[in-house]
Chain A
């Protein structure tokens, strides 16, 4: 299961993670996000133990969306050592996302 990321757990789950973290910014009303959702879920199972996969609901977590200047969804950010190292806008295959995660 992808972890639901909020501003409360963002620091511990994303910034302080020793593994790379993939974060999917999404919303329920966004059609392409609905298609990316299952791909991200499946990825989270596949990379268990290697990387962390999380989701930010931009409706509920406007502060996080603002902080990372999200203006188009779905946007996927990859964090390593607390820093954004990759960003992808739009729906991508699981392989492509895994490549961006580098695991």
Chain B
């Protein structure tokens, strides 16, 4: 059992990890990629780096600094976070338990830019099988996705109906499924006044009664929404201690909004770590 599991290995997550580790807390960092500090981005407004530093190098240096303190930074992708007595973090490769969780994944950069998508959100388009599946029992359902995240949702969907079709939206399928798969790109979602009824692709159209989305990798906002944390305008809402409305679940950096800057993310991580340390004492 970890004291804190930190999701995200950017300035916010690593700063929090360093402060917690230096207070002798048992922390685990799980990071997928460099997020908005991708290759080619140069940060030239951060303290101590004349001439600037690339996003990639900044991330690498942060991870190295954490490693030197004995912090494990796993290269893995989180698929789900649940809270029962403690937090359970499920990744592609394993399952980890923590007393607290810090969401520091940064801002999502992939939204589904499909005509009709916004219109039918909550009207036949859903992002959470365990939340909304109840309304779609025995229906003809579409699941949009192509990887482990999709598979995770598919397992929940199988309790609802046998009539499932997978839409990869033009992505290569990286997992095995026993259901029909449509590989074409989706161009539009259409329907009547009240709900989505049809998925239109580059090659045809498919009648559906419900559409669930599990595309790419879930970010902090997806985890927060599922577990019941307050999300407003794609920002996770936190108090002065960077805690969400859920005891023990914290968020910091770009995920909570404000200025999307390295300095602010690092400061958020530090503040969150101090607050987490206090909570762990209780």
Question: Which A residues have a C-beta under 8 Å from some C-beta of B?
Answer: 27, 29-36, 39, 58-59, 65, 69-73, 75, 89-93, 96
Contacts and interface: CB of A to CB of B under 8 A. Distances in A.
Contact of A35 (B124, B194, B246): B246
A31 B231 contact: no
B134 A69 contact: no
Given A71-B123, A72-B122, A35 B237 contact: no
Interface size class of B (residues with CB under 8 A): 20 to 34
Chain A contact residues: over half helix, strand or loop, or mixed?
loop
Contact of A32 (B124, B195, B226, B232): B226
A90 B123 contact: no
B129 to A, nearest CB: 11
Contacts, number: 67
A99 B162 CA distance: 42
Chain B contact residues: over half helix, strand or loop, or mixed?
mixed
Nearest to B227: A31
Given A71-B195, A93-B237, 11 more contacts: A32-B228, A39-B245, A69-B194, A70-B135, A71-B123, A71-B132, A72-B131, A73-B131, A73-B134, A91-B225, A93-B230
Interface of B: 121-124, 126, 130-132, 134-136, 194-195, 210, 225-232, 237, 245-246
B227 A71 contact: no
Contacts of B227: 31-32, 35
9 contacts: A36-B228, A58-B134, A59-B134, A69-B195, A71-B195, A72-B131, A72-B132, A89-B121, A92-B232
